[in-house]
Structure 1
Amino acid sequence: MKKKSYDKEFKRQVVQMIQEEGKAVPQVAKELGLHDNTVYRWVTEFKQDGTQAFPGSGQLKPDDKALRDLQKRIRELEEENDILKKAMHYFAKDRR
């Protein structure tokens, strides 16, 4: 069974119906043929992340992307540091 996916604009419109028009989540969900929990999750995501909510499939929020990039850089620097330590020990043995 294929999972339905909804684009960012659709999700924002659903949240807007709830927040600006004051409609109840179950009512909106029923009108659109969605599960209540799905709509509640969209509302929660929008409240937490505002305009950065719903980044899209395979995409990260800017903060999450920055964190992932920093973690990658740390791993690279740690690997370089390990290589330099090994080289230092290797050359220190040669001098003895």
Structure 2
Amino acid sequence: MSGKRYSEKFTIEAVKQVTERGYKVTDVCRRLGITSASLHKWIKLYGDTGSQHQQISEQQEELRKLRAELRRVSEERDILKKAAAFFAKESK
């Protein structure tokens, strides 16, 4: 079984064309060059929870950015602590 692999974003967009925009499955399949069996499977998988799934992906991206920012801010704080200790020692 050497089927073509599609990205998750592509599959969700294909499902949205049917569920949210009201296009016919056959039209979407023809335009995107996919089989109707694949699209029906994706609709089952993402149809009701597609927007939820997209929201989870956005939340994961935001979490990644926040963790990176936290790491940067923590490093800055540590540098400032060392600088404060250095200058406190120098002033004595």
TM-score in terms of structure 2 length: 0.50
| TM-score, L = length of structure 1 | 0.48
Q: Which of 1 and 2 has higher RCO (CA within 8 Å, sep 6+)?
A: 2
- Pick the structure with more helix per residue: 2
